[in-house]
Amino acid sequence: MMAISWNSLDAIENARLLSPGAHVIDFGSSNLYHATAAQIEAFVARYATTIPDNLSELAQRLEAGSKLGPDGQALNHAFIGEMFEAAGMTYDAIDIADGYKTTIVDLNFQALPEQFIKSADVVLNFGTSEHILNQANVFKSIHDACKPGGMIMHQLPAIGFVDHAYYCYTGRFFYDLAAYNEYELLDIWFDGNYTDSEDIYSSTRAYARYFPHVDKRVAAIGVEDREKRVASLRIPTVAINVVLRKVKDKPFGIMVETSTSVGAIPDAVKGAYANG
- 174 within some domain: yes
Domain that holds residue 137: 3-197+236-251
- The pLDDT assigned to 274 comes to 65
**Successive 10-residue mean pLDDT values, the chain, 276 residues:** 90 96 97 97 97 96 94 92 98 96 98 98 98 98 98 96 94 97 98 82 89 88 86 90 97 92 86 70
- Cα dihedral 217→221→223→227 (10° resolution): 90
- The pLDDT assigned to 159 comes to 93
The predicted model scores a pTM of 0.94
- The pLDDT assigned to 261 comes to 85
Overall domain count for the chain? 1
The CATH number assigned to the domain holding 171 equals: 3.40.50.150
Separation between Cα atoms, residue 215 and residue 153, nearest integer Å: 41
- CB under 8 Å to 155, separation ≥6 — which residues? 8, 11, 125, 126, 127, 239, 240, 241
CB 127 within 8 A of CB 2: yes
- 35 within some domain: yes
- The pLDDT assigned to 121 comes to 98
- The pLDDT assigned to 2 comes to 82
- 225 within some domain: no
- 21 within some domain: yes
- The pLDDT assigned to 267 comes to 86
- 219 within some domain: no
